[in-house]
Chains A and B, each alone.
Chain A
Amino acid sequence: MADEVFLKLVGIKKSFGGVHALQGVDLEIRKGEIHCLAGENGCGKSTLIKAISGVHIPDEGSIRIDGEEMKNMKPMDAINRGIQVIYQDFAVFPNLTVAENIALNGELKDGVKRVSWRQIHKVAAEAMARVGVKIDPDIRLERLSVANKQLVAICRAIMNDARLLILDEPTTALTAREVESLWDIIRSLKEKGIAIMIVNHKLDEIYQIADRLTILRNGSNISTGAISEYDQERFTKDMTGRDIVQQKYQPAENKEEVLKVENLTRQGSFENVSFTLYKGDVLGITGLLGSGRGEIGEALFGLAPAQSGKIWLNGKEISIQSVSDAIRNEIGYVPEDRLTQGLFMDRSIRDNTIAASIRSYLKRGKLDEREMEEATERWIREIDIKAPSTRPPVRTLSGGNAQKVVIAKWLNTDPKLFILDGPTVGVDIGAKAEIHSILHDLASRGIGIIVISDDLPELVQNCNRILVMKDGRPSGILDNSIDEVSLGKMLIGA
């Protein structure tokens, strides 16, 4: 059973106006297996999913479901064959109840005109029982966490007799514990013989869940195999096509203080946080959700100022009670949710780059267009933002490039201290490495860098010191000789 092939793609090609999105992809999904699809942004993952789900019809190649050749497959054909895709936005209705979200689509497909609420509740209860989740069916979806919204989407997909469930980057917005319970559910679906394809590019997560892995690069499948055949090195090489040498960051010894914090306290968030940041240091702050890790960053940037404690920046004692205090003291901050807090998505790269430093371009009541343009071009070059010009709106950029624009925005203010919360969330491996090397470069120039993150491999690789927070209290400052596993144990206090 496990080796029977459910879906087989051979030589799938698809171009959009001269751009070859897929250049001959082979893929085989077996019944009841968990198959991960990995690849950097722009490698053709989403085009491939759309070809499988009938949204795009391939230019060349064949798609076989259960051995039967599918010609000109439409979305409805794919659904009728049991292929269900859960996109990143889940396509759920925030204003409707859980029960309705689960049942409505199926009722609609059956051509039901009158809505029976009893039927809706019955369908929803059945779906939740099958998937093994318990959510109050009468609650509106806008009240649910991302993880639970995702579960609702999974319940809905299962209701339509799914045989292959495709999840597009399902873990990006989940906490570690939520990822765990998602994996449990995925495994129980696998037990029921449903094939699962997960798009993901975090190797540690792929190890936890996948049976087999396919890596896609530039529209071709580079390799496919059992998960045991891959180690970190091969994974990275197949993903990026180059060897990314992962070396722990170790700056030269330097006793010049950049930032010193003593007994920083904010009631209900964190207490008695003290640390010193020397020239060249990249300081990591980590901890579980709610441990106060993010709040320290917010306090240093004045978003939610500390109530007591002392802060020295470059030897001078400063007081930060508001964001404008922080900006006056030349502190930059990249928030965790850059899409809603750090960027104007519909404005150009240039407008975003100069957004925090716009005052310096105001000359005699007019903005100096040329200088703004030059500054933006300089940053595009310097930190290698992949964009044709300074004009395209940030919305059109990939996650990694968008994050670089946020970084450029603050670098353009010439900060003395730069705080980044989750700097590589939703960023692929290649861009991640570039962002890290930018941070190291900044640190060596004497800018204080604080990275707040729950990505343990990232912290161990890139921070030479790590402050661990637990329940609002610092539980230790480590150097980076620690490995991920013991760091993870320290987080949960084991």
Chain B
Amino acid sequence: MIHGISEILPDQLSRRQDILLSIRKVFEASHFQAITTPTFEPIEALSKGWDQFLKTSSIQFISDEGTHMVLRPEMTSSIARLISSRKEQLKLPLQLYYMENVFRRKHQLRKQELFQIGCEVIGKDDLDIDIAILQLLVQVLHAVGVHDFKIELGHVEHIQQLSPADQEALRQGMIVNVSVIPPIGDASILPKGSYLARLATQWDQRFPHYKGLLQYNLGKVESIDYYTGIMFDVLIEGVGAVVGRGGRYNDLLSAYGWNEPAVGFAIEFDQLALFLEKENT
């Protein structure tokens, strides 16, 4: 038996495809186009924008021709590599979505094969588009029947104010070693004039019916460190792991030769499907 892969039988698959279809409708109604990328490719090309986490958690092998290959460990860098190499054929801004499997090295309870649903907006960098991405995430969750959730937001500008030791401790979850614990809460914890404070004001004005859906964490860090602006997680009460995450990564595409900003999110479909199956029984 191989650890960390999923086998899905027809009944379960049919339920999952219903969920995927309703998500696809949301993306397409917002004028996002589907994209796919090669499952594996030479690591030299794909890993240009990677941090240590992606390098050490990806599954690598040597091809028949002796090329060092890697199975894509996530879609964002894979898409960045693909579109940057074909930039002459593409028109900005690009609004892309995907539903694909990605692969990670075996680590304790984590799966080796994950199914991720996500989207990217490339070529736009302002508050409006960051809010639009969050709104899209809310619409996707509502469309599949998830209503009791929070989106927790952080921003790199708050993390950068912490000492390197505190940043590292937060990244490792070692709250015990953090000198001053950064607060988590509603918009009242946000420093005046900060990007998140402006985002919070706009959000509440535009979506009064989504009140209380966002929360803020001034110590938010992500295991993947290519984020340059907002970062966020989807939290559902009673689900032990984060169901989705995303953020802004304005420097990632330039690692692949296209100097364009980007923002996006990915949903861990296995976590989401598991939650929905439990809810509906």
Do A and B come together as binding partners? Answer: no
- List B residues at the A interface (Cβ < 8 Å): none
